């Protein structure tokens, strides 16, 4: 990966550890060329033990190194929960700031071209104080956020959606390219509704927005990019402008990060809402292996478009219009789920 190589060239304390990242080039060739350039001392093939990889990296980080741990796929993160949650995230707090863990954990989540390892656990880690969590949707942001993660003095988790390895091609700015952790990106401006999305769902949201434009609905799409800490100000400003919110992510709807976005908007921008908040996510079932079943589970652009339609055109939403003072005001406590099983 270009950002990893650039940071390794710039800082001799950066090294990478993971399964099959040596001559093989890593899962989905995510470490291709690194072993040939930096050799086995800095590109360290590890046994199949995620807990050992992360534990060793934490020790190295405490000694001044800047390790990158490659966890091939996100479904293996539970194997290192003690090291990530109880150690990496806590050490700065436990030592009153004397200890720092400049650790980057890189992994892949969600559906992909090979239809394997589809679990999306990013919301688990956004819940943990002391961890930063980023989730890029474009090549430029993948580069820039990785650079920021490696340079950060605390633990950062980088979640890469697997379809983005094959489906998205874009230019990366020349020279040093760093995207700060935290600020969201307004991927499309609009006036009628806001969609807040992550990773692959950003592209499906943009596709939905193009379809809705032909129906006279102008949608703003926000690429969250960072889940912890997430950019509340950009989201709230957009919702105050449009009055409507849809949150979309590939992970399960129940407990997904979209619930945090929805709750924050309900708390801080209640008076701006003109319709109930809608959430789009996968139903609470294990992601199926069969292609036909998986296609019914993973949210689609059509599902996102339907969610927007439901809050723009539905009779209940019209009753919320503040231009009709005779209509009763009711709080937006009901969450609409469109295109996936209703888990609310």
Phi then psi dihedrals of residue 338, to 5 deg = -125, 130
Catalytic residue among 117, 203, 220, 260: 117
pLDDT of residue 44: 95
pLDDT of residue 117: 72
pLDDT of residue 291: 82
Q: How far apart are CA 332 and CA 323, in angstroms?
A: 17
Residue 169 token pair: 């091609």
**Length of the chain counted residue by residue:** 344
Beta strands of 85-203 (E only): which ranges?
Answer: 104-109, 132-134, 156-161, 185-188, 193-197
CB atoms within 10 A of CB 37: 11
pTM value is 0.88
Burial of residue 233 (CB within 10 Å: 0-12, 13-18, 19+) is exposed
The string over 291-323, giving b where at least 16 C-beta atoms fall within 10 Å of a residue's C-beta and e elsewhere, is: eeeeeebbbbbebbbbbbbbbbeeeebeebeee
Q: What are 153-180's pLDDT values in tens digits?
A: 999 999 999 878 776 777 777 778 899 9
Is there a catalytic annotation at residue 250? no
Is there a catalytic annotation at residue 70? no
In 185-325, where does DSSP find H-type helix? 200-213, 232-242, 257-268, 291-297, 301-312, 315-319
Q: How far apart are CA 184 and CA 231, in angstroms?
A: 6
Q: How far apart are CA 135 and CA 145, in angstroms?
A: 8
Are 143 and 131 in contact by the 8 Å Cβ rule? The answer is: no
Region of residue 55 (phi > 0: left; psi between -120 and 50: alpha; otherwise: beta): alpha
pLDDT of residue 331: 43
DSSP bridge pairs for 134: 158, 226
Peptide bond into 229 cis (omega under 30): yes
Residue 176 token pair: 């040093």
Where the chain has pLDDT below 50, the residues are 315-317, 320, 326, 328-342, 344
Catalytic residue among 50, 70, 160, 260: 50
CA within 13 Å, CB half, 303:
25
Let me know the angle formed at the C-alpha of 113 by 109 and 119, rounded to the nearest 5 degrees. Answer: 25
pLDDT of residue 290: 84
Are 178 and 147 in contact by the 8 Å Cβ rule? The answer is: yes
Q: What are 72-112's pLDDT values in tens digits?
A: 998 999 999 999 999 999 999 999 999 999 999 999 998 87
Q: How far apart are CA 67 and CA 15, in angstroms?
A: 5
Residue 231 token pair: 């950019």
The answer to whether the Cα torsion of 282, 306, 160, 19 is positive or negative is positive
Residue 61 token pair: 């980080």
Q: How far apart are CA 251 and CA 244, in angstroms?
A: 22
What 3-state DSSP class applies to 13? coil
Smallest CA-to-CA distance from 244 within 195, 315, 299 is with 195
Smallest CA-to-CA distance from 231 within 134, 117, 94 is with 134
Smallest CA-to-CA distance from 311 within 339, 273, 254 is with 273
The answer to whether the Cα torsion of 122, 284, 306, 211 is positive or negative is positive
Domains belonging to the chain, first-starting first, are 2-167 (3.40.50.970), 185-337 (3.40.50.920)
């Amino acid at each position: 990966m270009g950002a990893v190589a650039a940071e390794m060239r710039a800082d001799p304390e950066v090294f990478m550890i993971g399964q099959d990242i040596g001559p093989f080039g890593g899962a989905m060739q995510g470490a291709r060329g690194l072993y040939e350039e930096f050799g086995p001392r800095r590109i360290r093939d590890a046994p199949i033990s995620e807990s050992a990889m992360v534990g060793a990296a934490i020790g190295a980080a405490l000694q001044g190194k800047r390790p990158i741990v490659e966890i091939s796929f996100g479904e293996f993160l539970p194997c290192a929960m003690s090291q990530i949650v109880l150690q990496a995230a806590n050490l700065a707090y436990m030592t009153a700031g004397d200890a720092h863990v400049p650790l980057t954990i890189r992994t892949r989540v969600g559906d992909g071209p090979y239809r394997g390892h589809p679990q999306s656990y990013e919301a688990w880690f956004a819940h943990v104080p002391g961890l930063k969590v980023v989730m890029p949707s474009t090549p430029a942001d993948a580069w820039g956020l990785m650079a920021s993660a490696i340079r950060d003095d605390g633990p950062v988790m980088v979640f890469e959606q697997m379809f983005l390895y094959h489906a998205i091609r874009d230019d990366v700015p020349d020279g040093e390219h760093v995207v700060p952790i935290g600020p969201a990106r307004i991927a499309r401006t609009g006036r009628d509704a806001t969609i807040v999305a992550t990773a692959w769902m950003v592209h499906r949201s943009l596709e939905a927005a193009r379809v809705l434009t032909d129906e006279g609905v102008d949608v703003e799409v926000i690429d969250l990019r960072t889940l912890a800490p997430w950019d509340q100000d950009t989201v709230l400003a957009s919702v105050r402008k449009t009055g409507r919110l849809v949150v979309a992510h590939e992970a399960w709807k129940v407990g997904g990060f979209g619930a945090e976005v929805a709750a924050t908007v309900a708390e801080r921008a209640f008076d701006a809402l003109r319709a109930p908040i809608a959430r789009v996510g996968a139903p609470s079932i294990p992601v199926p292996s069969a292609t036909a079943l998986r296609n019914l589970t993973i949210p689609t652009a059509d599902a996102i478009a339907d969610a927007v339609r439901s809050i723009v055109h539905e009779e209940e939403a019209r009753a919320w219009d503040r231009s009709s003072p005779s209509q009763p005001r009711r709080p937006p406590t009901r969450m609409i789920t469109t295109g996936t099983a209703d888990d609310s």
